[in-house]
Amino acid sequence: MNSMKIGLISASIAVALIGCNSDSDSVSTMTPVTLSVSDAPIDDVSEVVITYNKVAFLPLDGGTPQVFDVYKTDEEGNLVDEDGNPLPEGEDPLPLSVNLLNFQGSDAQELVDDELVPTGNYKLCVFANDGDHPNYPSYVIDEATGNQIPLTVKGDGACPQGVGKDPDYGVLFFNNTFAVNPDNNEFVVEFDLRRGLKDGTGQNEGYSIQRTSVTLINTVTTGEIQGDVATLTYQSCETDTPSANGYAHAIYLYEGNIAEENMGPFAGAEGQAMPIAAANVVQDVDDANYEYEFGFVEPGTYSVGYTCTANDDSEEGIVAGETFSIYQSTSGLNVSVGTNTDANF
């Protein structure tokens, strides 16, 4: 799978970014490509801001890499300053800083909008400023303290095929091959922050994002899973589930037709399936209930489990003294391209 969410496009947000194409003189067949970013949720932080620098499409046929700079623009693609006003002539463009928590479910922020790229097979590099960048660092805001903490993108800033290495940047290199087709090409880089955002503040290392928690998806081949959680269900989960650590409500997504008793945590449990993604349960502003959404889900069979103890679960393990449980579930959901599959609790 935001969320790189990454299972999942997009009501793409209309802040289009300008791309500066490196070289396409030798190419005969060009097609528009859109690249966006999205996220799957996490607890305990109020912002996860990544500042993007550029993206590079690396052709497998040995051709020239297609490199696009990523800048802050308005909805029409015009360069703007920090306040969103037109950039004065002669000033350097600003890199794009994106709070990933603003783009969950099927929402995504465009990095490259309808740039022409030769058809063919590619790998991808996404460059992002590290937390020690002198002017535009990536960072996390701690929800409890409000402190800004540096965020490192795991990678040494090097991209293959001569694209190179830049100081103060990390690079997300997608080694899996993907195809740029003559028709629709709307890719999303999804960050599964619940799995991939690592807190190293106890070792004075700040936060980091693990490359293995980021996925590249062509959204034209995906569907969605969404649904409501009734207020009574939401309240009953907390009443029926003792916890000394508070509550965090989420829906866990599992591949296949998984029975509730076999739905396990991200921490892993013997004999239980591990989730592939999670979606926050949030209040529906137009209704008295709560809701969730998985955008960009590949076609197949899935199961979902509702929990109010997601804050006790991580890949590092279950919080000491606490237990994780699925409160309700729905199994055997079929997802197909371009469809919305409902599962309510």
Say whether both 206 and 251 belong to one domain: no
Q: Which residue has the higher pLDDT, 312 or 198?
A: 312
**Pair (62, 164) in one structural domain:** yes
Q: What is the pLDDT of residue 39?
A: 52
Q: How confident is the model at residue 46 (pLDDT cuts 50, 70, 90)?
A: confident
Give the whole-angstrom CA distance, residue 310 versus residue 141.
20
> pLDDT at position 74, please?
86
For 338, how many CA atoms within 13 A lie in the half-sphere containing its CB? 1
pLDDT on residue 202 = 64
Note whether 15 and 156 are same-domain residues: yes
Dihedral angle computed from the Cα positions of residues 282, 260, 9 and 17, in that order, rounded to the nearest 10 degrees: 60
In terms of domains, do 181 and 261 share one? no
For the ranges 50-54, 87-91, 94-98, 213-217, the lowest mean pLDDT is seen at: 213-217
The mean pLDDT value for 15-19 works out to 30
* Same-domain status, 40 and 73: yes
Indicate the average pLDDT of the chain: 82
- Which residue, of 156, 191, 221, is where some domain finishes? 221
Same domain, 128 and 196: yes
Is the same domain home to 35 and 83?
yes
Which is more confidently placed, 93 or 5?
93
Of 164, 199, 221, the last residue of a domain is: 221
Sort 166 into a burial class: Cβ within 10 Å, 0-12 / 13-18 / 19+: middle
71 shares its domain with 166: yes
Burial call 315-332: b when 16+ CB within 10 Å, e when fewer:
eeebbeeeebbbbbbbbe
Count of the separate structural domains present in the chain: 2
The answer to whether residue 4 is domain-embedded is no
**169 and 89 housed in the same domain:** yes
Residue 195 is inside which H or E element, if any? helix 193-196
User: Cα–Cα–Cα angle for 250, 255, 256, nearest 5°?
Assistant: 125
- The reply to whether 67 and 212 lie within a common domain is yes
Q: Please give the residue range of the domain that contains residue 188.
A: 11-221
Is the domain of 206 the same as that of 130?
Answer: yes
